[in-house]
Structure 1
């Protein structure tokens, strides 16, 4: 006797949901690649008598509709889940995030008409909560930040929903070979520059998805570009990379929103990373404020971490007279952090003193050298 189980569903809704997301992508032009003018010390005359030097570029991801780098990740996660059959018109999408990923995922959930719940720590800033709720998302608070993963999975079971799980799916949801990912975009935009193949790309790691995409793409395309990942205090990514121990855990969370994790996330692919830098939080925040003044608009703290690492590499290249370019990311706008990282009283309450790091950065900008023993050197 022939037996059959038929799980066919009406694909019209999924087809329309994918089309809606793709149409939104086409309406959103690619983000800008900004060339940051460096002081005179970054330029010299080569042995052949021609001008040489180091150029710095910043990919401005704050211009996405939801204002951050995580817009790309959220879009990829939703498309991946839709095409895997995990989301339909009756699915509630749940995420463990209080940051920019949740804001962007709430946007895409609203776009295709499904409910969204962000599981987050009770101490999440009111600004982030408002951004999620503005996209019709709901916030579910937990007292212990370490519980967000388990609570998100439990909620998905209770609601018959889907835990979209950025920390596991980030490295696999993005097509790292191309298809309009951030790596392909960077190289397309550099095509007519003086050094179209950069010496370094510099990124932070939260899920690890962006660094995995970049590292894989560099190898796939055969580029000589090296990948540097910058990591804040209290994150285990750097010590895990240094020791090779992926089981490391931390009881203290990162103070730089958007990057750094208390555990090595499944999406963190250390094998594609060429170098890591551990950046003090004071240096990240000093660079955030310094770069905000340079651009005449505020940027977020993870951008400060990126800029600190990028400038350190620029200084190394100048010192060794190695011409080339360095590319990093502007992750999100600083307006989200007006009452935190841009507030001196808030910093004092956290015990963060940025005076030494700020002075070191100013000296670097003046003469292109980190002095031994300075904060961040």
Structure 2
């Protein structure tokens, strides 16, 4: 019989204590990220007045005021923190992301803050303004022809550079502390305290990674609130189909026409079981709602905000039909300044074949007190 007992000396590994230089860098990096969080921890919750919605109060969480101009500022900070705390990001690590624009803008900002290289993989159709902002923060853009190609390309670049693929589509729901820590849900409900209807009937949110809807849905359940979550999907996106069928393998070959939301596959961060209801609307409805809202609040918002606003109006119309009063909350995801050449360009809209007029009339009639009649 073989003796498996090794001499005591063979079991000892009493090596000198390391200097832990990597930990020292990580501590400095986290301090920088925490400083940014303190400076930009909260955003305004605005309350536009819509005369035709008596008894239903509308609130919009304005995420466009973050330093990088969008909701994705919170996500980017969380993803970088997640990478550092898990040991994936060090002092010379190249950060890589697959993105349709806004997340990459925010990640480029944080990469520059930490003096790290950053490469964004995105469809060639991404708005020129977003590309310029990424490059202004020192990032580099790598283009693919189809939105479905971003994942493999980002992973390959991370492997080639020895870098870290931040992977927002997988990590969005796990990198954010959904129980609190001033996430967007906690901020919304704290700001609603003292309002006429402090617990919203519904929060309305579109889905890109699914991470924000996951955070809001989880937080509502964690706090045992009566609020429900309605997620709005767009054309050429599979989230709605997956929600209805339960099939997470469904795919779409055409990319979304509304930048930042809608996906050709069901992303790992999309959690349908924390969603109470879903609807899907045409892209023309999103763009019309974006332009209507921009006129009403005297500043331009982006296409995904239009999706949110149309979904919010639809929920409000259902509440009004049922004779219900209460409050509704949605999100201004980013500024319309990033879409001057596209969603606010009549020639571009005509070339794409978007007819906004009937959707605008429907929304204007509703906001003036009439029914929301879909074209």
Normalising by structure 1, we get a TM-score of: 0.94
Give the gaps of 5 or more residues in structure 2: 1-9
2:53 matches 1:42: yes
After superposition, give the CA deviation of every residue in 1:196-216 in whole Å (9 maximum; x if it has no partner): 100000000000000000000
Asked if 2 retains the 8 angstrom alpha-carbon contact of 1:95 and 1:163, the reply is: yes
Instruction: Find the aligned partners of 1:187 and 1:146 in 2 and give their Cα distance.
Output: 36
Give the structure with higher Rg (CA). 2
CA distance in 1, matches of 2:68, 2:315: 30
Q: Describe the superposition over 1:88-119 as per-residue Cα deviations: whole angstroms up to 9, x where unpaired.
A: 00100000113100000000011111110001
Q: Match of 1:88?
A: 90
Counterpart for residue 12 of structure 1: 24
Alpha-carbon displacement from aligned partner over 1:123-143 (angstroms, at most 9, x marks no partner)? 332211100001001111223
Alpha-carbon contact 2:100-2:260 (below 8 Å) kept = no
CA contact (8 A) 2:127 2:338 kept: no
What CA distance in whole angstroms lies between the structure 2 residues aligned with 1:351 and 1:304?
18
* Secondary structure, aligned partner of 1:229: strand
User: After the TM superposition, which residues 139-288 of structure 1 pair with which residues of structure 2 at under 5 Å, given as runs?
Assistant: 139-288=141-290
Per-residue deviation, 1:29 = 4.7
Aligned to 1:297: 299
- In the alignment, the residues of structure 2 paired with residue 144 and residue 290 of structure 1 have an alpha-carbon distance, to the nearest angstrom, of 30
Query: Structure 1, unaligned stretches of length 5 or more?
Result: 44-52
1:2 aligns with 2:11: yes
Asked whether the equivalents of residues 242 and 248 of structure 2 are also in contact (C-alpha less than 8 Å), the reply is yes
How many angstroms does 1:359 deviate by? 1.0
Q: 1:345 to 1:4 in 2, by over 3 A?
A: farther
Q: Which residue of 2 aligns with 1:25?
A: 37
String of CA shifts for 1:149-202, please: whole Å, max 9, x gaps. Answer: 111111111111000000000000000000010000000000010011000000
The whole-number CA distance in structure 2 between the counterparts of 1:34 and 1:191 is: 14
Return the offset for 1:145: 3.0
Say whether the 8 Å CA contact 1:42–1:368 is kept in structure 2: no
Question: Retained in 2: the 8 A contact 1:98–1:129?
Answer: no
Are the aligned partners of 1:128 and 1:336 in contact in 2 as well (CA < 8 Å)? yes
In 2, the alpha carbon distance for the partners of 1:369 and 1:247 equals 37
Q: Is the 8 A contact 1:232 1:260 kept in 2?
A: yes
SS in 2 for 1:284: helix
Name the count of aligned residue pairs.
363
**Hey, what does 1:314 align to over in structure 2?**
316
1:46 maps to which residue? none
Q: Which moved more, 1:26-35 or 1:266-275?
A: 26-35
Question: 1:286-318 deviations in whole A, cap 9, x for unaligned?
Answer: 100000000111000000000001011112112
Q: Is the 8 A contact 2:96 2:166 kept in 1?
A: yes
Query: C-alpha offsets along residues 318-366 of structure 1, whole Å, 9 cap, x if unaligned?
Result: 2212111000000000011011001111111111111111111111112
Please tell me the root mean square deviation across aligned C-alpha atoms, in Å: 1.4
Aligned mates of 2:204, 2:149 — CA distance in 1: 31
